[in-house]
Amino acid sequence: MRLGTRRSALALAQAELVAEMLGGAEIVPLVTGGDAGAGPQDKSRWVDELERALRDGRVDLAVHSAKDLPTELAPGLELLGAPARAGPEDALCGCADIEALAPGSRVGTSSLRRIAQLRSARADVEVVPLRGNVDTRLAKLGSEQLDAIVLARAGLQRLGREAEAGALLDPSRFVPAPGQGALALEGRAGDAAAGEAAAAITDRATLATLLAERALARELGADCHTPLGAHARVDGDGGLRLRGWVGLPDGSAWAGDEQEGEVTRPEELGAGVAARLRAVGAAELLRSAREMAGDGS
């Protein structure tokens, strides 16, 4: 089995984890348009070369950070599975509590969703653009006069750096990105061997949560310029709960909703939460958010 992956340290660590689950596999590192700084400014730039490699037979499965995978896949490709999820929460590094930040503190992130949620929670802090891989961002915490930065907990876990997190942000308030913490296994439709391999290491609860979150994002037309959070979890009684959140990058307005559905019908739940969000103005919020992002706000 040949596993396609991006070349970043985190992507390679994730591919190695999948290879270990499979009992061994060849890892094929590839450079995507996003890695090269080229291509359209949407999620497809992070998966373009991986999907080309699948379609021309260079790899059998592509291992993605699920939050990077577009809701619409390239023709002939399918989401074949998802291993057990790591922590979906956002982590605050450099400070032990979001409320402990002094007014005027500088907090680093370039995620529109995180910017919107930080500003809605703490309008008195300054949000500073921060890009790069996990190691680069952590290094900038000490070198660019930042008081804190926000990263995905899962990335810290998979790189063995979870101790860098001062606090985990409450996912009911700081709703994670759709798919955050999960790995998505993409393959060719009809490839029985790849399908069986992916199914063997798929965690059913994780796949259900991922499908619900992706359905919510798809129904709302989410893209890289969408401050959207979607967090699903399987309750102790076996039900599936999904929370959705949309907001403006300046933190001035937001909407959220949470509903419960059947774990066997996750996409129906995602569509239902999306409909309820649209009913309270989510479409208008997202349109305004895109306009603000286009203006560089």
Q: Alpha carbon of 257 to those of 125, 272, 277, 289: distances in Å?
A: 26, 10, 7, 18
pLDDT tens for 151-207 read 999 999 999 999 999 999 999 999 999 999 999 999 999 999 999 999 999 999 999
What is the average pLDDT value for the chain, to the nearest integer?
Answer: 93
Given a cut of 70, whether residue 257 has pLDDT beyond it is: yes
In which domain, by residue range, is 104 found? Answer: 90-168
Task: pLDDT band for 40, please (50, 70, 90 cuts).
Answer: very low
Distance CA 161, CA 3 (A): 24
pLDDT of residue 116: 96
Residue 53 lies in a domain: yes
Given a cut of 90, whether residue 41 has pLDDT beyond it is: no
pTM of the complete model: 0.93
247 - beta bridge partners? 254
| 135 and 188 in a common domain | no
Task: pLDDT band for 224, please (50, 70, 90 cuts).
Answer: confident
Given a cut of 90, whether residue 292 has pLDDT beyond it is: no
DSSP letter at 175 equals: P
- What CATH number has the domain bearing residue 282? 3.30.160.40
Decide if 68 is catalytic: yes
Which one is predicted more confidently, 72 or 294? 72
Chain centre to alpha carbon of residue 206? 13
Residue 173 lies in a domain: no
Residue 196 lies in a domain: yes
Which of 264, 210, 199 lies closest to 66 in space, CA to CA?
A: 210
| 122 and 60 in a common domain | no
| 192 and 208 in a common domain | no
| 116 and 159 in a common domain | yes
pLDDT of residue 33: 72
Which one is predicted more confidently, 88 or 44? 88
The count of structural domains within the chain is: 3
pLDDT of residue 179: 97
Identify whether the C-beta of residue 146 lies closer than 8 Å to the C-beta of residue 128: yes
| 116 and 151 in a common domain | yes
Chain centre to alpha carbon of residue 219? 17
Identify whether the C-beta of residue 133 lies closer than 8 Å to the C-beta of residue 56: no
- Helix, strand, coil percentages (3-state) for the chain, rounded to 5, are 40, 25, 35
Average pLDDT (10-26) is 97
Average pLDDT (29-52) is 73
Task: pLDDT band for 127, please (50, 70, 90 cuts).
Answer: very high
Active-site residue (options: 60, 68, 90, 147): 68
- What CATH number has the domain bearing residue 32? 3.40.190.10
